[in-house]
Structure 1
Amino acid sequence: MEVFHRTQLAADLAKKILHVAPGSAAGSGLFLAAPRRTGKSTFLREDLRPELESAGALVVYVDLWKDKKADPGVVIVNAVRSELAKHESALKRLARNTGLEKVSVAGVGFNLQQVGLGDGVSLSDALAALSDEEKRPIALIIDEAQHAITSEMGSDALFALKAARDELNSSAHHGLRLVATGSNRDKLSMLRSSRDQAFFGAPLISFPPLGRDYVEWFCAGAGLAAPLDVDDTFTLFKEAANRPEILGAAADELRFDFELRPEEVRERFRAAVRKQIEESSQELLRVVHSLTPAQATVLRVLAGRGRGYAPFEAATLTAYGDVLKGLTGDPAAMLDVAQVQTALLALQEKALVWRAARGVYALEESSLADVMASHGMLDGVPGTQQRVERERERPA
């Protein structure tokens, strides 16, 4: 599969990640936010990882979205174990450093299952041995990192990585750089916006979306019966929220229409893109329309309030009542705390709502709020205007 490469962006980011300026908070880690399906993970695997490796770093890549049923803490630990298994000399060093020379694995004198959280060999010891034996910094990339705080073990893994970062970034070692990415800025910010989080104060930036250069590349290789207009396609790409799959699906629809005439290509492509956009919205709305009145009420209030959502506060319970009365026509309709808890659990099971281990809730797909608003589902929801104003004030 042919991939669009963002070489210059990868080089710029790699330099900033590996060469931290004096006094910069980037040594705490770098957090990159971008909506899902906008090319972020492809960039990490195809561009940033090779660039970091060519700059001398040993890269460990962890995707917490690959298996959503696996505990994120286990996924992180297994990624470190997997990398250690590739370096026999680092295993020997770790066995010596931790006094476990008598534990055997493949003649190396160490058992990888001893690396983990809590009892046994810490992630800090494991990563330090790996970095010291390789004599180069480690760049740990965690994709969809916000998923880590959905479990206690995931949160513990983040604090273990903080300890490893502090140790490896001392003058005695070669350094550890953490790159955490996520598809929801609000969720990702929870990992570094409060003092009780492992990476408090680390910079959070918006990952640059694919732009006109991507559209030019796409148009040049679209392989349709007639060339696409770059300006028109770029406008459509922005309508599609910079999602490559929308353009690709539209092109496929035309590519296999053997009766399509060249003079029809541009107009048909325009219609196909807008059809893909509408279908992606309708897929979300189909799930929303299947909800019970209580679930729909909680979802609307959460979507309307955004970062200001506090599920069990008195004002929020009043807002539930206002919305539920509008949905059911029952002037006495209300939700109590137990009903809200049940609704939130059901919304999680339907993959509409995400919950951090400490009880903070957010939409699973941040775009859902915009889709619901465009279909009038947030009209009259108390607090919606404050969400819009907060979004406008959000830094780019």
Structure 2
Amino acid sequence: MTTALAALSDESKKIIVLMIDEAQHAITTDEGVAALFALKAARDELNSSKHHGLRIVCTGSNRDKLAMLRNSKDQAFFGASMVQFPTLDQNFINWFCANIDLAYPLDPSNVFELFKESGYRPELLGAAADEIRFDFALDPVTIPERFATLVRAQADELNANLKKVIHSLTPIQSAVIRVMSAKGDNYAPFEAPTMELYAKAMEQAGIAEHDIKVEVPGVQQALIALQEKKLVWKASRGVYAVDEHVIVDLLGEAGLLEGLS
């Protein structure tokens, strides 16, 4: 990789900027970790006086996962700077409403409130607009109301499906995801205080005290099951994180994180 990028640098005689989207997935496998170290070696070589420079920009949709690329000395880019990108704002919604090309205009201020309510997810706005375009019987005057209904319905459906998965968990799986969500970056799956929190979570869920058994093998199996259900994400070095922050939000709204931090 270093040889290839050095050749490109020498040929172009310009700084190379390599952008990696959803870069956190690299640390879920040993091969991905090795690739990051190879990129670091290439960066060090190209930033020497022999070549013309290499800048690496890693982006991701989950800040906690992305932070794992630079929070530990055993990571290739330990200590690298991290910038929080702002969410899409009113300017994006103004552009969206001006270019959506529906039979009746949408009010940007109303759409922005709807956008915030639905978790800043532009794909929901686009899907709602597409559905309206193919509803040939729809009265144009009712388009703003119909648009809002469709966006909210999609957001509710996404959350409802997630809630079904959460409610289908076994007691120990539920306890693990709740404690992980409550502890955040401080989550240590097998420490004694964490094991006590699992038991507390199960007790809060109404499990009888004599039925509560929390042991390391059971927690390990629960973590595997949660990964298979796409609720938990694991880095190759054994660090776990909740897959999406919306899971934490749903558990918090249901009062399932109280007393577990």
Q: Out of 328, 331, 338, which is 2:209 matched to?
A: 331
Aligned with 1:141: secondary structure?
A: strand
Deviation track 1:221-258 (CA, whole Å, cap 9, x = no partner) reads 32333111111011111112221111112223333333
Separation of aligned partners in 1, 2:197 and 2:213? 9
Superposed, 1:1-396 pairs within 5 Å as 123-332=1-210, 333-378=212-257, 380-383=258-261
Report percent identity of matched pairs: 55
Separation of aligned partners in 2, 1:191 and 1:294? 29
Runs of 4+ aligned structure 1 residues displaced above 4 Å come to none
Separation of aligned partners in 1, 2:252 and 2:130? 30
Paired AA for residue 45 in structure 2: E
Task: Please give the root-mean-square deviation of Cα atoms over the aligned residues, in Å.
Answer: 1.6
Aligned with 2:57: secondary structure?
A: strand
Separation of aligned partners in 2, 1:137 and 1:214? 31
Aligned with 1:305: secondary structure?
A: helix
Give the CA deviation at 1:310.
0.7
Consecutive unaligned residues in structure 1, runs of 5 or more: 1-122, 384-396
Mapped contact 1:131–1:173 kept (Cα < 8 A):
yes
Mapped contact 1:300–1:381 kept (Cα < 8 A):
no
Give the CA deviation at 1:328.
4.2
Separation of aligned partners in 2, 1:319 and 1:294? 11
Give the CA deviation at 1:381.
4.4
Give the CA deviation at 1:267.
2.2
Consecutive unaligned residues in structure 2, runs of 5 or more: none
Deviation track 1:28-53 (CA, whole Å, cap 9, x = no partner) reads xxxxxxxxxxxxxxxxxxxxxxxxxx
Separation of aligned partners in 2, 1:196 and 1:341? 23
Mapped contact 1:141–1:180 kept (Cα < 8 A):
yes
Paired AA for residue 104 in structure 2: A
Moved more, 308-317 or 123-132: 123-132
Give the CA deviation at 1:281.
1.0
Deviation track 1:96-148 (CA, whole Å, cap 9, x = no partner) reads xxxxxxxxxxxxxxxxxxxxxxxxxxx22221122112322222111111111
Mapped contact 1:228–1:266 kept (Cα < 8 A):
yes
Paired AA for residue 256 in structure 1: F
Moved more, 292-301 or 170-179: 292-301
Give the CA deviation at 1:262.
2.8
Aligned with 1:158: secondary structure?
A: helix
